Chains A and B, each alone.
Chain A
Amino acid sequence: MHNKTLSELSASLHNGDISSVELTQHYLDRINTHNAELNAFITVTEDKALEQAKAADQLLQQKTAGALTGIPLAHKDIFCTEGVRTSCASKMLDNFIAPYNATVVEKINTAGMVTLGKTNMDEFAMGSSNETSFYGPVKNPWDTNRVPGGSSGGSAAAVAAKLAPIATGTDTGGSIRQPASLCNLTGLKPTYGRISRYGMIAFASSLDQAGPMANNAEDAAMLLNAMAGFDQRDSTSVERDVPDYTANINDSLEGLKIGLPKEFFGEGLDSDVEATVEAAIKTYESLGATIKEITLPNTGLAVPTYYVVAPAECSSNLSRMDGVRFGHRCDDPKDLTDLYERSRGEGFGVEVKRRIMTGAYALSAGYYDAYYLKAQQCRRLISNDFQQAFNDVDVIMGPTAPTTAFNLGDKTDDPVAMYLADIYTISTNLAGLPGMSIPAGFVKGLPVGLQLIGNYFDEARLLNIANRYQQNTDWHKQTPDAFK
């Protein structure tokens, strides 16, 4: 039952082979059996899930159900869910029961889906290994001594281990694509502004974007249909029609022009990962695509630019966590400053504090021009490189991550080494472009992701390009032995 695609599940629900309650219970049972080993969920909402499933079954019986009605999913614990703890994997919000739903949650509820629970993540989405969570690290289902990637590591592990058919994630510098790569999933970060950020706890507001984490491109397209769209409650939401992302998923790739940035295949890329990515690109050639080497000359600026822009925005966004209106408050504050400093000092973990301090310093008097302004200028250079490239090619491809999943603890003592895990994904966020990671093969039993980068609002094309590959390969159908 847990190896079906969303459209197969939908068919089974609609023709009455299975009820949503049965399907939901099946996944709850799997979570019960396997979550202790993986730590993929922070909160399991069993009672609410079964209530939602009952309501879905009524719609299915009345024949008023939609394509996603009755299908379970898991939400990254960054999306506010009314009446349910929304922790962002932080001690700061361990006691935070969200008073409203994020727009993404609202839209998915309206589509009739069933929420199984809230998945683990790096604290406030700051991390690339899921090791900064207050609730402990998530384990990679392909090898439980290894990280699942981050920050959406819980969503990735849950879908990879078939504890949920699909999940939501968010991506600020690679947080959907990198864990998708490390866990053999299809993950999509849409164009900035495509999905509402309302109720999605903000990390870096000019970079954050939600997206689906799925077993295949068609599933991702179906969930994107429910997630995307204009929202007046998000001031950066884009007013633009939402196409049916499944409509052109089977289109031919004949004549597709693929650009390979030479900067993505240089020093730092594991040679086996490189060979795997190159083999995937050969498959595209056999499907009628042509390959062109391109250059994104400012790629080297992406990580340093990001580590100014993201911390600066996070230091501002996280100032709302002050121990006054919600979240953790220290005991016996002696004055207001003490209340702020100790509540925040106790509530935030080390990586979050590092980034807040980085941002506070970069924005402090006398340093703004040297850091933040300079970074925003470099951001323009990076974005211009992409626009130049898209004059000649339809899609850009390369590795999602420089290596396969690394061991737990390997990079926790060296923040800069950890930051380089996102070296190929960060530039996409800085430019605001859509990007995907799709399963492309294995190295020593560990998954490798192929990254696809499209021009603005090219999500449908990316999903088509991903789907055609998946019709000709079976990497995305592989499941770790312990979770079959």
Chain B
Amino acid sequence: MSLDKTDVEKIAHLARLAIDEGDIPDYARDLNNIFGLVEQLSEADTSDITPMAHPLDANQRLRADVVTEVDQRETFQAIAPKTEAGVYLVPQVIE
């Protein structure tokens, strides 16, 4: 497997990351090295092995369906880049 410039651009877009054109060769080299390391996993025999998603194999804990959080909109929006009338502002999405 080898990731090229187009792959890196595609992955960066999937991850919503703007990266400088000039840095792409370095990212391509580093990602290829990382996936080169990861390739070693293919040698492991994992037939019939249950994937381990949680170290203690715990189940999701459930709680009663009651309101536990109080409204903290003003506190949380005080640190937002841009708000107006209690909503977060982003560039226009719908023409």
Contact = CB atoms under 8 A, between A and B. Distances in A.
Chain B: interface size category: 35 or more
A96 B79 contact: yes
Nearest to A235: B61
A308 interface: yes
Given A324-B88, A336-B90, A357-B15, A193 B41 contact: no
Interface residues of A, number: 76
B31 A307 contact: no
B44 A416 contact: no
Given A323-B81, A329-B81, A376-B51, A339 B91 contact: yes
Interface string A189-216: 0011100000000000010000000000
B37 A380 contact: no
Interface of B (DSSP majority class): loop
Most chain A CB within a 10 A radius of its CB, from B30, B40, B78, B92: B30
A444 interface: no
A238 interface: yes
A375 B75 contact: no
Contact of B52 (A340, A357, A377): A377
A339 B80 CA distance: 14
Given A380-B50, A380-B51, 8 more contacts: A238-B56, A307-B34, A322-B16, A328-B81, A371-B38, A415-B33, A432-B56, A433-B55
Interface string B9-43: 00111111111000100010011011111111110
A442 interface: no
B15 A360 contact: yes
Interface of B: 3, 8, 11-19, 23, 27, 30-31, 33-42, 44, 46, 49-56, 58, 60-61, 63, 72, 75-76, 78-82, 88, 90-93
A266 interface: no
A345 B19 contact: yes
A327 B88 CA distance: 13
Contact of B34 (A97, A340, A341, A416): A416
Contacts of A340: 16
B91 A334 contact: yes
A361 interface: yes
Given A329-B82, A380-B49, A344 B60 contact: no
A341 B55 contact: no
Nearest to A338: B91
Interface string A411-455: 000111001000000000011110000000000000000000000
A47 interface: no
A145 interface: no
10 closest residue pairs by CB, A with B? A432-B55, A345-B18, A376-B51, A329-B81, A377-B46, A360-B15, A380-B52, A341-B18, A340-B16, A377-B49
Contacts of B72: 99
- Which of A305, A339, A346, A361: most chain B Cβ within 10 A? A361
A324 B81 contact: yes
A307 B93 contact: no
A301 interface: yes
